[in-house]
Structure 1
Amino acid sequence: MTMTPRKHAALAARIRTDLDLLERCEHVSVEEFMAIRASVEYDLSVGFDGLGYSNLIYPQTLRDFGFTPEQTLAERKEFCRISRVEITPSHDEEMLGEMLQDGADNTLSFEWQWRVGEHARFLNDKVWYPFFVTLTVDPKYHDPEEVFGVGATAVRDYFKTLARVSMRECGVPRSERDKQSDRDYLQHFFTIEHGKSGVHHHAHGILWFREIPDSWKVDPNFGQPLAVNRRCPPLETYWKYCVPDQRPANYYWFLGCPWQRLGHRVPVDDTGKGFTMLAPEMGGFYCAKYMGKEDKQWKHRVKATRNLGLNRLLLSLKRAPSKYLEQMVAILPTYAHQTIQTTEISVPIRLTKRLSRLELYCREYASMNLTDLLSSKPKPYGAMLSSLAKTRPWLLASEERYEWLLSVLPPAPKEFCEDTWFEALAFFQDEGFGSFHTETVEGIGGYSA
């Protein structure tokens, strides 16, 4: 059975990496490496079905050598006797590393902010019910890593339980609930923090319910003299890893939200001022303050429903002509071009580039030739290191740093064409991905919005 393009791309990258390791392996001669590579190419030719190498397999030749798909990169390096030489990096190399890491962190944070905002708008159109939730773990009673760490089941079980609440309210019989997809009834985004002290482990995020109990729809300030309540106490009972005061589940407000449609009174803050409500697209930026850089106490990552915020974009990419996608993966030739794209299109450039590249791969992989499949991809880090003899990119202004980046990047696989690029921008604007709506409304506290 033909594999998916995403798995195909990952497996092709794995095979290229294994061949690169073999080429560096000290106990494999040049002649032996060429023989192994030829044998790998023969193994892959078995998958050739007239439409290209669409049925890609992990080569038997690599298995015979001692590699297996389950091995980590470190294990394969150890097997090839490729030892990591411990060299103390220079000050400039450390600064370059910090600059690149900061850039990667900021890019990832910005992508998630956009995706959460897009998802808030998408689900608001479908009238799903949003809550902003904080999940805290009391370390006196529970091991935070066992609750929040990679592979932990506590949070997953929490989502599963809440999905069944939504299923019940949608009328799904108990006998049918295990057959349903949880994501059809509950969707989520959560990011984990450790607090300034490093021991206040908690997660902030948004839950979207397809349906909720009628009691949850009642204004928490109904019959109260002041609209100071934001919490939904019944929802808070489903988190059991801390005392009640440490697990607030707040009704999540924004312009046109379900709570506004239900006639809830606008809550007030500690000063008695009504909420300033933003467009739903700005919801991700509300989460931005919880995605700051901090030292992780253990390995963890953002927890989110698969493809959160990407539904509309992925459909648009499938509709886009290949020539437009090629412009999205091309290297923009000047900082001015980058500025135009970031102001005309709301989708972050790196996200558009990555998903456009995947969509192009989906269209091309079935007819891909073996040379393209196995060719090593250029790595710009060496050129970056060499450039440090003349340039300190972390000291440069944005435009100068972009020019430095252009000088060290390898040529893009797709050539930039300005006319087609402008057509591509117009296409994505027509698809509804122009600039975010940023209007705000000052709510009158205590009155229905």
Structure 2
Amino acid sequence: MLTRLFLLRMSRKRPLFNGYEKEPQRYTRKCFASLKTLMHGCQTDGATLRTSCSHPWVNGGTKHLTESVFDLLSSWTDDTQSYVTKVLEHLKQRQAHHHDTFLTDSVNKKFLQFHRDMTEECGSEDKQHSWAVIEKREEVVMYGPYYPDYNSGEHSEDVIIKQTQALLDSDAVSEDWKVFVFTRNSPCLARNCDPWPCMLNLVRKAHEWWTVYGVKTVIGYVKCWGFKGAKETLFRDINSSQVDYIDQTEDHAGYVEAAKKSFGVSSPVCEDVFSAVKNLLSSESFPLLNVVRGQDWKGYFKSMQSVFESKPEEEKKIFTQELDTAVEAAQALLLSVENGSVEEYLEKGRAFATDCTFGSQVSDVSGFRDVMRVTFQQCWKEMVQDKHAEFIRETLTERFNQCTVQLFINDVMRFTEGHLQIGRIQFSEEDNLH
């Protein structure tokens, strides 16, 4: 891992310390218990803290607030399923995609400037990575970017935490310092390995940095990752058959009854997932062009080749050429409709099949062209329905992840508003990462 650490002063960049161009030394992560011990020391002896116990959390309310934060973070790790249910309830009530948790304008502008500086120094990147900034009164220290090492179970935020802790421990910290943490995907809220999920660990450390040093923390992200991001499996069973039965039934009970009689539905989805899909179906249209990708498109029409497989070799060659031409022409249909309903796309396919002259260079024996038209429509229908189901899966996963992060931020801000901000960064067209 190549690590870059640089300092900005009067718009000039130079290394902060000799040797920091290499990967930083690994530091032992402090457990939460040590934080509770430290807080107990603050109550009995104000000199224990470098902040001289001047914050509103210290003295009378410190123990209660620390335990409140600890209980909140523990609940997210110990009872994840209850939060999954809460998020699904939000989706059911159509609340998840109406709001997002953005950073304030002033903080957002700082992140954009830091991002421009980091991009100028290290180049742009469209995969998961993290970097951070310690903003002091006279200077700005930037370090990163760091990338996850999934083989070892280390996330990019893990390195940020270790490096930030090392820098704070090695300097005479002033109470007006701020730590800005950038991560492309919002820190995870569920994790299979031993360390706490990244979001909870960052909140825990921000709590510690504020209590020990008086340093405030801001966490900014580009994309809502939810619990585990794209790996979320809640909607993996939503295929075209599921969508069809959900669309045709009025309530979950009716859907379950119909699904049990179907060969295309392996197992009915729960009521909350049913409602989330039902709500999305009510919007009618979807951007088919955006979900059809590359060779994936032509793959849906490969079965048409079986129609002329028994033809003489010369005719097979002609049919193959005409089929390729027809498929490319059919793809142009997508360009004429930015958004449409499933039925609108199917109607376009029927109209195209009626007008297309399949096999026009050979004689039409036994209504061969009619067979080609019917087969084309079947392939087109399968493609539209599959892509519609894919769109629903991806859209619901995105909304679920967004709602998950929003729910967590709303929870944690009740206790950390004075020293921690978490939110999505709004990029201008010039800075846009998407």
Fold equivalence (TM over 0.5): no
What's the TM-score once normalised by structure 1's chain length?
0.26
When normalised by structure 2's length, the TM-score is 0.26
